[in-house]
Chains A and B, each alone.
Chain A
């Protein structure tokens, strides 16, 4: 009896450590953040912090810029990551080496990557030095000007794409490797072109990996922060950067928590959309 009972309980016992971990490090702080966001200092329930957040000078710009970055960065990253993953899988000479080269940015912290790209784009930075040295520019061009939001965003996009494309690539490489070679051989037998193979075989089979990568990237994109801060300073502002400022600079944890709740809500909604929009019918799963 006891042995049987223990056997029944085993899966739950095995799950227990991760549940405790999730509770302490995710659920508990999350509940705390919610209470901070919805309670006043006196402990009354209020929406005051959300109205402070929405009516703040920086809110509209932060919201717009965060979405804009998301819309620009994610398609670029996925196109690049797919090309990189296909190149690695192409079995060309040395193609395995690319995996390691492409993964280098994964090992670099967000802030360090931001500082590197700041050093490239700033007035006396590497890019301007090269361009003036080659005679293409007469004098340094100011990329990182607050008057020049286009270039400012461009610099942030380049830095962020450089930094975070490889994580998408790693997921896609794993997905590609799980596609049985018979499928591609069958496509070859029917005389499919490379384009047809990518479009009709590889992409549909990659859907689960794409879903994972999309969810991951979108959630991370809502949290983009250090790169933008290092490259653009106060020139652009983002939701996560505002949350940081309200907490660290303005010392108001309530409004910071309101931002956190907003970011969490956006993340959950977009995740739900991906799960629903990219669901794979039962008969298509491997």
Chain B
């Protein structure tokens, strides 16, 4: 047995020697190299290592996005960052528990403005005013910084990335576009005629809404439908104008794919062509534009009687009071707001930069499509930005529920619009009274008092 082994080894060694011997011999012609040495400098870059940093985030939760964060976005950061994506419920529970126990494991938080607005008042977030001034060169718009103060004189988070919601359109739908309608400046009436035309001609309901469990449909009501028709969100909730908006949706619903109540990320249904036109968050449409940039159009949302209402989404970075790696946490936030990292973030996960960057030429065609639609939408002459709910503390979920329930009652269960609005108005007002939340744009300023439903 041993003899056999020795033989095999000898054979292998001789084969490799033979192979080496067979390599072509290359004789390099002598080169004349002129070297001028003027100075010898020993370069020893300072070795910075921020150690272990735990980053808990309600954003970039889908597996592919989380992998991009770990593998690409954090690649050049000098430190060992553990990125933990977490659902909103457990996210808040974990920080609440850590603050209560006064024992922290989490150093940096990534979340939406709405998440932070429930945490600042509870003394869970550090005051980042000092960090804010050290990041002054980033060019983050003051409007975003103001929002990050959560109605106080302190800064509780650093704006990190932004997104919004747009329409994605399969080019096959264009031949059904009603005459005279401009696809880049649609109105709600155009959209109705368009979707009806498709249904009448093909027999299929080809519009899609993310009305499933984790779909973001409530944002359509809060930031698009209600403000477009009524010019407000809370104050005009039960107005006749808002009722017209709900009537529009009720009339529109027959042209919406009835599987919408199972849809969460519209890119899936766009790619498998269950729908041709869909409204969703840019990050949830990205795969469709990335996969088939030639087949899809990204266009601004439709305009209603009161304007082209849309909801900008702002995500931020904060440090919990129980952070154990302060220097590392601040360095990570500074790193994530660097212009080139912001561009990487846009390229990898489809969230748009919050800092001033030149629109990068090397992002993919799909992202470019989205970016152009976002710019067009924000810059439209009738643009009406409707901000995410503010000051609702831990009642944000109840606020969303009012809109979801209104939709379920009116559109899915076919109940009378005014009756439903009058019922839900009471719940909405009780939420505003309980939190004392002042009105936010586009509702008129309530001068510090709780916003009132008219």
Contact = CB atoms under 8 A, between A and B. Distances in A.
Contact of B412 (A146, A233, A247): A146
Q: What class of interface size applies to chain A in its complex with B?
A: 20 to 34
Given A234-B211, A234-B213, A118 B262 contact: yes
Interface in A209-247: 229, 231-235, 247
Interface string A144-166: 11111000000000000000000
For chain B, the bracket of interface size reads 20 to 34
B154 interface: no
Contacts of B89: 247-249, 251
Contacts of B170: none
A118 to B, nearest CB: 7
Contact of A250 (B259, B261, B397): B397
B213 to A, nearest CB: 5
B379 to A, nearest CB: 34
A251 B213 contact: no
A250 B263 CA distance: 19
A58 interface: yes
A122 B398 contact: no
Contacts of A147: 258
B67 interface: no
A252 B259 contact: no
Contacts of A146: 258, 260-261, 412
Contact of A122 (B259, B395, B409): B259
B88 interface: yes
Contacts of B326: none
**A58, A232, A251, A252, most chain B CB atoms within 10 A:** A251
Interface string A115-148: 0001000111000000000000001001011111
Nearest to B271: A124
Interface in B75-106: 87-89, 92
A184 to B, nearest CB: 49
Contacts of A247: 89
B400 A250 contact: yes
A31 interface: no
Contacts of A123: 257, 259, 274
Given A248-B87, A248-B89, A250-B401, A235 B262 contact: yes
Interface string B106-138: 000000000000000000000000000000000
Contact of B92 (A139, A229, A251): A251
A42 interface: no
A286 interface: no
A101 B405 CA distance: 44
Interface string A267-278: 000000000000
Contact of A234 (B203, B212, B397): B212
A104 interface: no
A64 to B, nearest CB: 14
B436 interface: no
A57 interface: yes
A252 B274 CA distance: 35
Contacts of A231: 262
Interface in B399-439: 400-401, 405, 408-409, 412
A145 B405 CA distance: 18
A256 B87 CA distance: 17
B442 interface: no
A235 B258 CA distance: 9
Contacts of A57: 405, 408-409
Nearest to A247: B89
Contacts of B412: 146
Contacts of A139: 203-204
B322 interface: no
Contacts of A235: 261-262
A57 B204 CA distance: 30
B351 to A, nearest CB: 22
Nearest to B396: A251
Nearest to A248: B89
B258 A252 contact: no
Contacts of B398: 250-252
Interface centre among B257, B262, B272, B412 (most CB of A within 10 A): B262
B289 to A, nearest CB: 20
B264 A233 contact: yes
A231 B408 CA distance: 19
A233 B262 contact: yes
B146 interface: no
A147 B264 CA distance: 18
A124 B208 CA distance: 15
A193 B70 CA distance: 67
Contact of A145 (B88, B259, B264, B408): B259
B397 A124 contact: no
A249 B399 CA distance: 11
B408 A251 contact: no
A144 B88 contact: no
B274 A124 contact: yes
A234 B397 CA distance: 16
Interface in B191-217: 203-204, 211-213, 215
B251 interface: no
A148 B259 CA distance: 10
Interface in B217-263: 257-263
Interface of A: 56-58, 118, 122-124, 139, 142, 144-148, 229, 231-235, 247-252
Given A122-B262, A233-B261, 9 more contacts: A118-B262, A142-B257, A145-B259, A233-B215, A234-B213, A234-B262, A249-B397, A250-B398, A251-B398
24 contacts: A56-B405, A57-B405, A58-B408, A122-B274, A123-B274, A124-B272, A124-B274, A139-B204, A142-B257, A145-B258, A146-B261, A146-B412, A233-B215, A233-B261, A233-B264, A234-B213, A234-B215, A248-B88, A249-B89, A249-B400, A250-B400, A251-B395, A251-B397, A252-B398
Closest 3 CB pairs of A and B: A233-B262, A145-B258, A250-B397
